[in-house]
Amino acid sequence: MYPSRFSYEAPTTVKEAIALLSKANGEAKVLAGGQSLVPMMKLRFAAPQILVDINNIPGLAFHSADPDGTYRIGALCRHVDLEKDVELAAQQPTMAAAAPVIADPIVRTRGTVVGSLCHADPQGDWASVMSALGGSIVAEGPNGRRTIPCSDFVNGPFQNLLEPEELAVEATVPPPVGTRAGGYLKLERRIGDFATAGVAVSLELSGEQVVRAGIGLTGVGPSTICADAAAETLVGQALDQSTIERAAQLASDVSQPRSDHRGSEAYKRHIVATFVTRILSNLQPATEQAT
């Protein structure tokens, strides 16, 4: 299979990329890892006239914490960069748990975190992770930069709030107010499959007490679900059994799974509750240590 014809641009600066996007009047697409866009172009679901390949722009392949604790992921940070960072688990446990379960190892060498967020696949894992972490997308256009919270960024399946002339330059996570803890669990039928159900939990702890919490659900609704009520019920609490059970129930209640080839509705709800319980229960020793 081969895509319909396009002209190819390989800018070497963000400014140049934005200029090319602006000139294209909405007929251009950004090419990052290409692991979603190229298959879509081959199937002719996408037929951009101009492809703006950002892979030659230096300085976008980073992931790091600022001195104030803001965590930043550049537009060319690939899934594998996070998977192979042995220090990530201590800094960003939810991200570290998610990176190795995205797609398969070969897709992970090319695919990017920011590209996944932009692609806005309702089944995508990073959207749940970033929602749980309260993350944002930084978009740059001809008039400068703006920051869009990940929870607002996606406005429909495969749709986001970017203007045609904007490039998503990075994703950011706000500084923690406590010690970070959390995890990501994904049930998949085989490696490389999208989630039957996935659960992202991000916590910030002060001693035993949860001071901030976020829970994002993958694959159990028309789009990523922020389980806000489940997260709220954790705040101000220690993670005892009844608190965990309440959060698991609330997350399961807010999910909207459909029965399909991956499993029945009831099964997927059950998985959500089980995963919330599992992630929160496995954090307990760390919480105790912190006191």
Partner 1 sequence: MTSLFEVMPAETAVDTPVRKLTVNVNGKQETLKVEPRLLLAHMIRQALGLTGTHVGCDTTNCGACTVLFDGAPVKSCTMFAVQADGHDITTVEGLASASELDPIQEGFKDEHGLQCGFCTPGMMLSAKALLTENPNPTEDEVRWALSGNLCRCTGYQNIVKAVLLAAESLQHQEASKDEGETL
Ligand X SMILES: Cc1cc2nc3c(=O)[nH]c(=O)nc-3n(C[C@H](O)[C@H](O)[C@H](O)COP(=O)(O)OP(=O)(O)OC[C@H]3O[C@@H](n4cnc5c(N)ncnc54)[C@H](O)[C@@H]3O)c2cc1C
For partner 1, which residue of 26, 69, 105, 175 counts as binding (CB under 8 A)?
105
Asked whether position 290 contacts ligand X by CB under 6 A, the answer is: no
Asked whether position 102 contacts ligand X by CB under 6 A, the answer is: yes
Q: Three-state DSSP class for 232?
A: helix
Binders in 60-99 for ligand X, by CB under 6 A: 75
d(CA 175, CA 182): 15
Q: Which residue, 201 or 283, has its beta carbon nearer to ligand X? A: 201
| Number of residues counted as binding partner 1 (CB under 8 A) | 28
For ligand X, which residue of 71, 153, 184, 194 counts as binding (CB under 6 A)?
194
In the block, tokens 């939810």 appear at 94
3-state helix, strand, coil in the chain (%, to 5): 35, 25, 35
The torsion angles phi and psi of 53, rounded to 5 degrees, stand at: -80, 115
CA 210 to chain centre: 22
For partner 1, which residue of 14, 22, 46, 53 counts as binding (CB under 8 A)?
53
Give min distance, CB of 180 to partner 1, in A. Answer: 26
Q: Provide the CB-side half-sphere exposure for 121 (13 A, CA).
A: 18
d(CA 143, CA 39): 32
Enter the DSSP assignment of 228.
H
For ligand X, which residue of 18, 20, 24, 30 counts as binding (CB under 6 A)?
30
Summarize as ranges the residues that interact with partner 1 (CB under 8 A): 1-8, 10, 34-35, 38-39, 42-43, 51, 53, 55, 80, 103-107, 109-110, 191-192
Which positions touch ligand X (CB under 6 A)? 29-37, 39, 75, 102-103, 107, 111-112, 114-116, 118-119, 121, 124-126, 162, 167-168, 192, 194
